[in-house]
Structure 1
Amino acid sequence: MELGTYALIGERSLWALLPLATYLVLIFMGKKALSATLGGVAVGIVLTMLGPGSIARMFASSMGSFLALIGLIIMLGSGLGELMLKTGVSKTIVKWIIDKIGVNTEKKGILAIIVSSTVICGLLGTLAGGNAIIAPIIIPVVAAVGLTPSTVGAVFQSSGETGLIWGPFTGPVVALLAVTGLSYGRMMLWAALPFGIIWLVVIYFAAQRIQKNTKGKEKYDEADTNVDEVEITKEEILTTKVFNISFALLIGYGIYTGQGTSYAIFVMLALSIIISLVSRVGIEKGLGHLTTGMGKMASMFLLFVFLQVMLDLINLGGGFEALGDILMVMVDNLGREALMIAASFVGGFGVDGAAVAQLQITHDIFAPAVEAYSLPMEMWAIALIAASRITTSVYPTANMVGQMGIAKSNNIKAMLFGGWAVSLAALVYIIAWSFIGIRIFF
């Protein structure tokens, strides 16, 4: 596709980045990601002066794009999460974790939240949805040992974010594997595991500091501290065991045979059918739960369709290539190591919106320089993780406020303390790794 006859920009023009600038401005003005992306598309259409037919073909093409595939996977993940909730699988997993840890101290309470949130958010692929599911089960348990809402909220945030970079079929992980070309195992070994372990270790100690500062000043209501035994039926136990085994086998097969991004669709559908049958919910009712959950993420699918169109419009004007020329000069002056550091800071502090969108945009901005200087994907992956995760931890974004609400907290300072603690620790690691890793891979 070519620029319109009366296009306001030429090829390889920095002005082609105006749609992206519009998107970022609208995001930081508080607009929702879908509205901000639509604004960016509108500016791109004006700059390129494409006709209605060309625009229609661009949207049709975006429906079959990689980003649209990610949107579908996220929708299926939400649907599977709804089915897991209705069949008691999520409840059973959380109950097992709590019983295994034996929550009888504040430190064990923090650990129980970390493990439960990381596992459930990683399985479901959603921060708000995952923690909303575990909150009614775990809050009474940790409240009974004295944890404050501020502590719980901060731990929910960082643990859930970690789950999203570890879960094999979460949107950010699928997107990361696709743009880097890494296998799940190599991505975890070199990028996600180090990043996530840093976050979990730091939030464990940061939560203790928050607990010390807020204990005696705030507490959960008496109703929240009543620990009622969560009832789990034999049917729910069987369904959960079959789910865990099936999930492990499907993941193992995918890793062993080197399955691609689309394999996630098969896994989601297979697991949905399996737990529908084992739980005796039945296929028809199970699919009903699946589609209900998928509907909750319909706006996310549209977001990725619009985002792909916006990126196509930018590429049509050569915006990322023009920016890449400037970045080449920076790398020539500062060295290959500067790429990882710059991407982590630019993505983490300068690009906001949906995590997959942040990851994709950051990758597109730096991709020419990454390719030109042959930066190993194992190193580039951790920069993209930082770019897509740090933003929601250092700014009072909707994600952060949402975790406060789930934890029944109103202490934004505690949330920011936890978010800045984990983010700064990760950035220090990335700066050090950018120099050490180069010497390992070259």
Structure 2
Amino acid sequence: MPQDTPVTAPVTAPTPQAPPRPRTPLPASVLAAVGLALSVAAGIVVDGPTQWGLLPIGLYALLALLGMDIMVATVVAIASALLILMPAPAAAANILGESVGDQITMIGLIIVLGAGLAEVLRATGVAGQIVRAVMRVAGDRSRAAVTFGMMISCLILVAALGTLAGALAIAAPLLLPIAARMGFTRSATASTLFIGGCAGLALAPFAGSNIAIMDAAEVGYLQYVLYGAGPLAVLSLVLGLVVVPWMQRRTERDGDDFYSDDMFTDDGSSEAAHSVRATAVFAVALLASVVYATVTSAGTAFPLLALPVLAMVTGVAGGLTPTEIAEHIYRGAATLVNIFLMFWLLAVLFNAVNLIDPFTVVIESYGASLQDMGPFPFAVAISLLGWVGVPGATAAQVVLLDKLFGDIATSVGVGASTWVIVLLFASKADTYGPFPNANQFGALGLAQSTSLRNMLITGWCLLVPATVMYAVIMFVETR
């Protein structure tokens, strides 16, 4: 008799598990508990303006530095401020409600709308058109021309989109075949993307951190470019023509650092007419927006109108229906909703701290000694403090530094031009070094390079000259 064949249960793939949520480091948890306990004690003992109002901000910075999630750290800092202030429930609710319309929250919304515009530019092919147009102008006559063209492509795209990682992710697939044909190493390509992208980020008119700087220093876009972003962008492009060839010579002896011959191919696809048309419309609309905002001093709120309008006119020119445009805006904006929430929480924190009013006490207690310090040493000290000591997103860094030191800077004699440099350096210097950061890893990964050491060297080659340049400018401006 035939034997029964054993029945084997089907093997099913294990259900994928969600990645574990990062645990809050124990020192951060202990510090949060101690800070909240001190806040309760201060709220009971102190009445009226007090330097204890600086505790929530200091607690926020230390918790973030110790590795606590930035959103959780912000909530703990808000709790600390409210415990010191001890408002009635209705007053606490008013703080939350009024913060929704605060300028800090507005910057968060601008960042979200910028992500929506970036998605429309990607969907309509405008981003690709920008890169191809720049590379046609630069040509491929020499590596120097290609290097400059690649940097300018990244600069324009990042400046238009207002985001480094998102813009480079669009540019990289278009630029890497060119780099491969010209014999660039992966490290040299990564340096090119990074240098051009960072220059564009400094110039981006609607980037959240740049808007925060202009708002804090009370300057327009042209003044911002003249005082701060312009010198950095020019220095970056000039140094890039030196650093990238040097990085190429440094790494070309390593055969593993080259792209394989068949890794990248140019598909030679024809350019769709709607992409060309959308690019022209976007360029004209963007230029008109920047000119209008500059001439009329439109202020921080203008991007709330400009960004959706840019997305709509570009989408229509690119052949998208209104429904499709709305879907793309929503898809891009949805990726950064957490940023909007964080900026609202920051507005709550700063409004609560303002009610405690510690800055008046600080100025009354230490104003004389700070004024004796002089504008140049003060500007240098705050620049370095922001570079190494203030955590968080760059726009949040700007807001935090201005809230802490803006009034003191005015009393010391720091002018608007110098304050632009202080906030720009404080918020952007850590992109270049001295430690690895997300922007460096992003450029590294998009160039398919694995040499973090070479990326760090690239950042240092920009950071040191930029530091010297800004120190000289601030010294001259504060004389």
Structure 2 length-normalised TM: 0.85
Shift of 1:220: 2.4
Corresponding letter in the other structure for 1:357: A
Runs of 5+ in structure 1 lacking a partner?
none
- Report whether the alignment pairs 1:213 with 2:247: no
Q: For residues 311-346 of structure 1, what are the alpha-carbon distances to aligned partners after superposition, in whole Å with 9 as ceiling and x for unaligned?
A: 223333334445556764554443221122112111
Q: For residues 352-384 of structure 1, what are the alpha-carbon distances to aligned partners after superposition, in whole Å with 9 as ceiling and x for unaligned?
A: 211101111122222122121332201211111
Structure 2 partner of 1:109:
146
**Partners of 2:190 and 2:449 within 8 A in 1:** yes
Distance in structure 2 (CA, Å) of the matches to 1:355 and 1:65: 18
Aligned mate of 1:346, from 375, 385, 389: 385
- Report whether the alignment pairs 1:151 with 2:188: yes
Shift of 1:107: 2.5
Shift of 1:81: 0.7
Structure 2 partner of 1:269:
308
Distance in structure 1 (CA, Å) of the matches to 2:169 and 2:44: 48
Structure 1 partner of 2:106:
69
Equivalent residues in 2 for 1:239-258 (5 A)? 239-258=278-297
Corresponding letter in the other structure for 1:26: L
Structure 1 partner of 2:445:
405
- Report whether the alignment pairs 1:315 with 2:354: yes
Deviates more, 1:36-45 or 1:359-368: 36-45
Deviates more, 1:182-191 or 1:127-136: 182-191
Distance change (3 Å), C-alpha of 1:206 and 1:327:
farther
**Partners of 1:95 and 1:230 within 8 A in 2:** no
Runs of 5+ in structure 2 lacking a partner?
1-38
Structure 2 partner of 1:422:
462
Equivalent residues in 2 for 1:33-432 (5 A)? 33-217=70-254, 218-324=257-363, 328=367, 331-394=370-433, 395-432=435-472
Distance change (3 Å), C-alpha of 1:247 and 1:331:
same
Shift of 1:21: 2.6
Shift of 1:302: 0.8
Corresponding letter in the other structure for 1:134: A
Q: For residues 21-72 of structure 1, what are the alpha-carbon distances to aligned partners after superposition, in whole Å with 9 as ceiling and x for unaligned?
A: 3332333334443333233223333443445443332222111010111111
**Partners of 1:321 and 1:368 within 8 A in 2:** no
Equivalent residues in 2 for 1:23-38 (5 A)? 23-38=60-75
Deviates more, 1:101-110 or 1:294-303: 101-110
Distance change (3 Å), C-alpha of 1:216 and 1:230:
farther
Corresponding letter in the other structure for 2:294: I
Deviates more, 1:31-40 or 1:72-81: 31-40
Structure 1 partner of 2:7:
none
Corresponding letter in the other structure for 1:431: A
Q: For residues 67-86 of structure 1, what are the alpha-carbon distances to aligned partners after superposition, in whole Å with 9 as ceiling and x for unaligned?
A: 11111111111101101100
Q: Alignment partner of 1:390: what SS?
A: helix
Alpha-carbon RMSD? 2.4
Deviates more, 1:206-215 or 1:104-113: 104-113
Distance in structure 2 (CA, Å) of the matches to 1:364 and 1:306: 15
Bigger RCO (CA 8 Å, 6+ sep): 1
Deviates more, 1:76-85 or 1:232-241: 232-241
Shift of 1:243: 1.5
Deviates more, 1:374-383 or 1:91-100: 374-383
Distance change (3 Å), C-alpha of 1:84 and 1:331:
same
Deviates more, 1:142-151 or 1:345-354: 142-151
Corresponding letter in the other structure for 1:83: V
Shift of 1:223: 4.1
Deviates more, 1:157-166 or 1:379-388: 157-166
**Partners of 2:371 and 2:412 within 8 A in 1:** no
**Partners of 2:108 and 2:343 within 8 A in 1:** yes
Deviates more, 1:107-116 or 1:283-292: 107-116
Distance change (3 Å), C-alpha of 1:392 and 1:288:
same
Distance change (3 Å), C-alpha of 1:183 and 1:309:
same
Distance change (3 Å), C-alpha of 1:213 and 1:36:
farther
Distance in structure 2 (CA, Å) of the matches to 1:326 and 1:404: 48
Distance in structure 2 (CA, Å) of the matches to 1:17 and 1:397: 28
**Partners of 1:79 and 1:290 within 8 A in 2:** yes
**Partners of 1:106 and 1:142 within 8 A in 2:** no
Shift of 1:184: 1.3
Q: For residues 229-285 of structure 1, what are the alpha-carbon distances to aligned partners after superposition, in whole Å with 9 as ceiling and x for unaligned?
A: 253111211111121122222222222222222111221122122122222211111
Corresponding letter in the other structure for 1:402: G
Q: For residues 82-102 of structure 1, what are the alpha-carbon distances to aligned partners after superposition, in whole Å with 9 as ceiling and x for unaligned?
A: 011001111111111111111
Q: Alignment partner of 1:266: what SS?
A: helix
Greater Cα radius of gyration, structure 1 or 2: 2
Distance in structure 1 (CA, Å) of the matches to 2:239 and 2:150: 14
The sequence identity of aligned pairs, in percent, is 26
Distance change (3 Å), C-alpha of 1:45 and 1:230:
farther
Q: For residues 182-237 of structure 1, what are the alpha-carbon distances to aligned partners after superposition, in whole Å with 9 as ceiling and x for unaligned?
A: 12112211222112222332243222222222223212244434333253111211
Q: Alignment partner of 2:263: what SS?
A: helix
- Report whether the alignment pairs 1:436 with 2:473: no
Distance in structure 1 (CA, Å) of the matches to 2:89 and 2:384: 38
Structure 1 length-normalised TM: 0.91
In the alignment of these two chains, the number of paired residues is 437
Shift of 1:9: 5.2
Deviates more, 1:359-368 or 1:308-317: 308-317
Distance in structure 2 (CA, Å) of the matches to 1:131 and 1:89: 14
